[in-house]
Amino acid sequence: MVRFLGIDLVNNKKIKYALTGIYGIGLSRAKEILDTAGLKDADEAGVRTKDLSDEDISNIRKVLEKNYQLEADLFRLTNLNIKRLMENGSIKGRRHRAGLPVRGQRTRTNARTRRGGKKTVAGKNK
């Protein structure tokens, strides 16, 4: 089992798809990481995670640690950005603080995830 940044990658997936299990890595970044690590042919051949050699694993690990902010660092950065918006008193910060949708979505009928479940009012006639 291959482990990067505290995340176990799925053994029977192709390596470029398995890398997307790490927070902060999408498909295009996974391809970029494999190219930088010298595994361009592995990407094209569809090499699975379980077929990687120890040298390949160490090359990928070096590229991840050297060039990218991933997992915990990225979570921390995102939370600091949200906290900064809240302290500024910006509209986005106020919406975060109130638990409402931040990006301009309507809230009159939708936004149940952010606002919570429907609340019934006692004694209201239909």
Task: Answer whether 56's CB lies under 8 Å from 48's CB.
Answer: no
**CA–CA distance, 16 with 31 (Å, rounded to integer):** 6
Domain 3-68 has CATH 3.60.20.10: no
CATH fold of 73-115 reads 30s ribosomal protein s13; domain 2 (4.10.910)
**Any idea where the domains of the chain sit in the sequence?**
3-68, 73-115
pLDDT cut 70: percent of the chain above it: 98
pLDDT tens, position by position, 10-69: 999 999 999 999 999 999 999 999 999 998 887 778 889 999 999 999 999 999 999 999
| Higher per-residue pLDDT: 111 or 123 | 111
Look-up: residue for tokens 């192709």?
14
Please give the pLDDT value at position 78: 95
Contacts with 9 (C-beta within 8 Å, 6 or more apart), sequence order = 1, 2, 3, 15, 18, 19, 21, 22, 49
